[in-house]
Chain A
Amino acid sequence: MRLLALGPILLLLLLSGRATAAVGLVTIPERETVRMTIYNSVDLTLVQEARTLVLKKGRNRIQYQWAGTLIDTTSLELRALESQSDIEIVDVVYPPSSPATLIWELESAVEGPVRFEISYFTSGVTWSADYVLRASAEESTGELEGWVAVDNRSGEDYPHAEVRLVVGTINLVERIRDLATGQEMDRQRSLNRAEVVDARAVLSESLPAAAAPAVAGAFKAKRPEVLSLRLADYHIFTIGGVQAVTNGATTRFLAIVTKKAMDLEVLYRVPFRSDTADKLYRFIDDAEHQLPEGPLPDGMWHVFRVIDPATGALSFSGSARHAYVSPGEKVELELGVDPAIVVKQVHEAYSQSDHHYDPKGRLDGWIDHDRWRFKLVNTKAIPVSLEYLISGNGDWTVEGLGGERRSETLMRHLDTIKAGQVLELGPFSVLSRRGARGTAPIQPPKLPVQPLLPLPIIRTSGK
């Protein structure tokens, strides 16, 4: 019973002449190398195992079992790595009485050991990235550690695996887990309990002793180098050496680290009408910011600030999830509202002008004037950047404040504020044209001049 959960087992059965003849077990080759290519956008891992099989001339049968795992049966492939022209896979059989089992039948013109690669898709092995950013006390620089964590819930141990991690969005028409579990269920439906017991008994007899740590020496007593390379439209991280990808365990590797402290920009984003400033750390994923070449995969960022450089004591600034960052793209980490930045926006006044009437004298257009003032107090000991986002709708413009139109409803004003300084903007007006447009307005009646406030009240007594 225990053995059924132990993952892929390879049996080599040699057929002498006729495929139906029963033959004895000849050898159970160990994995020589395993390469795991793990995708993060979908629950998919490509496993490529190299094994050496001892063939005889003629028909050979190779049995492969993967009970208790999440392997997609349809993806299983056997490929000779040498003598390809002398070896032909002629049939693949899924025996009706054996769950999670297939038999490759191949014709070989050679005899002796031949290296093969068995590859398959499995689900249950995933990877994710997470980051630790430690800003300096004055928040002008920061040190970044980017980690990748490989989580194995596949049901299979890979004690000595070369690990490659793919960053990218790939298309799958079916989920590997569905394929794996669906097939398993379909096939198990036709089994009875006795057959399962028999199958497990066979496996228990044939299971090899625990694999010797043939490649244990490949574990390096130093941090594995993590290389980032472009792969078609994706990126691939290759973790140096071989790693233990143990079922049920999560292992984190340091993948990205700044060569030295990088420059940080402290940016405050203030939405229109809001009296709070959202703090962001901003930097570019490039060599100038001491980052190795390559993207920053999406993941959770934990941000700290060194509050005492002498002891290295930290303060926790916040956590933020950030999407994938292409090489050369900017990183913006949202750290929430910072009370050290005081913002006040006052909607000072509203008025209308340019009333327009149709030929029947009905009002069909006018302009709304909304007058605003903006004030930001930087109580911090560092200069900060401001991104002020003014929003409007319809046909609108802003007078009295510069900025860049970012969309139909958004204008962005950028500024910088020195330490301890106050920035005041305005008064500026948002002009919104309502109703009819494009024709010269009919001059409306002269409106009375509005008194300016504050206004003294006329006293009628006590003079």
Chain B
Amino acid sequence: MTNNDSSSRLEDIARKIRIQVIKIIAEAGSGHPGGSLSIAEILSYLYFQAMNIDPKNPQKPDRDRFVLSKGHAAPALYSALALRGFFPEKELLSLRKIDSILQGHPHRLDTPGVEASTGSLGQGLSMAWGMALGIKLSGIPAYVYCIIGDGESQEGQIWEAAMTAGFRKMDNLCVFLDYNNLQIDGKVSDIKDITPIREKWEAFRWKVLEIDGHNLEQIKESINTFKSETDRPTLIIANTIKGKGVSFMENNVDFHGKAPTREEMEIALEELKNG
């Protein structure tokens, strides 16, 4: 497979993730489309290219692990897991319904492929570095990936974990910062600006990279750089667009935690199919 083939395949998967995100949040009548749409390429690359995982053996000990610290983007994670074969795609439409295996926020005991229950912001990064340490102690040469939010970066626990993982040289830990600059109450830069980001994480002893979070080639390069890094964890600042792929959701804070109406869904799906 050539690079271009691989790129277009992963782009297609990112589009499929977005289509499912829109469909299932509309069906559920609630959920978080904006921050789900912004991480579609990252999830596409992780689940369909980077990670050593086996949907038929989700608990295999040498697997790479992923923690969605910004747990409200669960619809995107569930879509990636279903497309990868961890559970049937038809389950996706049961999101947030009673008896569903898909809780509003990820719950590892309900959903095959979910490694950690997350949703209370800040905790996922600690769990991710804990996993990175656990597999190191067991001598397993696997990687742990994690996505944190920019709003989430206002949580104190993020910085506790950042300080520990940097100090402890967790070079098997790769964290994406989904930097879409929107949180529930407005722009991150207005509510509590988290810049300078690079300098902060470098000061906490992390390797810091900055990419366009919707560019699969850049995602690939950044993960390759992460894998060659020793003695430091890696933070990838992924500049993204909240609501990416749906014109009326892009950079629109109203769609942080609001489901599209039936009509909005039809328009969104049309855009995504043609996009």
The finding on whether chains A and B are genuine partners in a shared complex, rather than unrelated, reads no
Q: Interface residues, chain A, CB within 8 Å of chain B?
A: none
Q: Interface residues, chain B, CB within 8 Å of chain A?
A: none
